[in-house]
Amino acid sequence: MQVDDRQPIPEHPWTETPEQTAAELGVAPDTGLTADQVRQRLSSYGPNELAAGRKVPAWRKIVGLLADRLILVLIAAAVVSAVVSREWETPVVILAVITLNTVLNYVQEQRAENSLEALRSSSVSVATVRRGGRNEDVPRPELVPGDIVLLEAGDTVPADGRLIEAVRLQVAEAALTGESQPVNKNTAVLADPGLPVADRTNMLYMDTDVSRGRAVLLVTGTGMQTQIGRIAHLLGSTFEEKTTLQRSIDQLAKLLTYVALVVVAVVFVLGLLRGDSWEDLFLTAVSLAVATIPEGLTAVVAFTLAMGASRLAARGAIIKQLSAVETLGSTSQICTDKTGTLTLNEMTVRAMYTASGRSFRVTGSGYTTEGAVLSADGRPAPALSVAYLGFALCNDASVRGGVLTGDPTEGALVVLAEKGGIDAEGARASYPRVAEVPFDSDYKFMATFNRPRPMRMQFSARCPAPNCSATSRGPRGCCWNGPVISPPPRDGGR
């Protein structure tokens, strides 16, 4: 199957069936692209990377730093002082301050660029694709429109694409849309070509994460043609405005220039009225004008901002320009319209309730296992090992080293089981799953059947109905705000 590789990619793939989109891109989903097609399309569309900004030469950066209005005033003062007074002490001090300020700003910017480049180099990952009838791992930059990508829980989506197959698929799109909860995805055709990105449930987008399930994706956009690429383009085309501190320093430089001119004029007029010589008047006027310029101001500002940048760097922040430190420091309110934009996108169990009416407080936060289950009524906490075992087994998420793979809610339950003394991975190995009823958002229920060697156990997890209390009794067990633990059948699981 051949395709004109200069043909644009489908404009609204979510309104087409997977077969139609695959036909437009000239690919058979069962076999994928051939090596020749990949080579041609990589040449036509370019690598699957976001365009890097144009690198500014070092000399241009230095010129930009010296173009500051106060710096120009200091340079003029140094030159005039050297020409008129023929003394080198003041000009040398001024030029030393200017050099120090320029070096501090230039070094900070270079460090930030080097750090960002190191992050880009370390973030190159691979994707599993189907090419020539075989599955293989290829670097993300080598993906092209028409590639068939295989995804599972924990994977990061490497490019924009139309879903061909989706099994219990949920995707965390907080990086793109700001939605904190994972979104259910499917392959159903959508009729509206004008749907916003957040409502395109049959599409996946670059740099979002698969929380649950597995999928087969037909790539429809790579590099700057992805939604993330469009955002990067908009960010790159924004006009860089001066910070409040920079504007204040510019106003101060303008004011000092006016003051210096007024001083020169007043001294000249008064000297002429007194009959002083032109040479003495000029020397006196220039000396007074230079004295109005605060030579140490730029050095003080640069050192203060450099200290702020060092403190921020110790907390993991990369500051490209020293002036950005003042911008962060002067921020009093941050407005956001989406949950999850500024949060860690983590969920934590804070409390548990039993059918007997007891409540327990859970300490710790995030996906670390540091914390404990404490009794809220002063009585000792009972052994809840069966409940913790249910949290671990009726669960598809995994947490390793504080990093979650899977659904955030299930990850919170895994962490709770670990805090209760259950090794989730070890429990799953000891009680292998033999069957399951996958979680469905319509009936809000999930069940797994796990068979240890002596018997079989059934664990169920459900979301309570809106009119249910936090503690309810099921037909065969108790609901602790979600998991229902059922005893094994009396026949021993036969």
Start-to-end Cα distance in the chain: 53
Q: Which of 343, 416, 414, 356 is nearest to 382 (CA)?
A: 356
Angle at which helices 69-85 and 89-122 cross, to 10°:
150
For tokens 């860690």, the residue is 344
Query: Whole-angstrom Cα distance, residue 380 to residue 395?
Result: 28
Catalytic residue among 337, 377, 442, 491: 337
Please, where are the H alpha helices in 54-88?
Answer: 58-66, 69-85
For tokens 């189907």, the residue is 130
Residue 4 annotated among the catalytic residues of the structure: no
137, burial (CB in 10 Å: exposed 0-12, middle 13-18, buried 19+): exposed
- 146 in Cβ contact with 29 (< 8 Å): no
Query: Whole-angstrom Cα distance, residue 413 to residue 135?
Result: 34
R_g of the chain, CA atoms, integer Å = 33
Distances (CA, A) of 238 to 163, 247, 373: 33, 19, 50
- 154 in Cβ contact with 406 (< 8 Å): yes
Distances (CA, A) of 242 to 105, 126, 189, 305: 15, 40, 47, 15
Distances (CA, A) of 196 to 14, 20, 192: 11, 21, 10
Query: Whole-angstrom Cα distance, residue 353 to residue 360?
Result: 6
Residue 361, SS3 per DSSP: strand
- 193 in Cβ contact with 246 (< 8 Å): no
Distances (CA, A) of 232 to 47, 49, 51: 16, 11, 8
Handedness of CA 414, 181, 468, 438 (dihedral sign): negative
- 422 in Cβ contact with 391 (< 8 Å): yes
**Which two structure tokens, joined as six digits, stand for 333?**
């309110």
Catalytic residue positions? 337
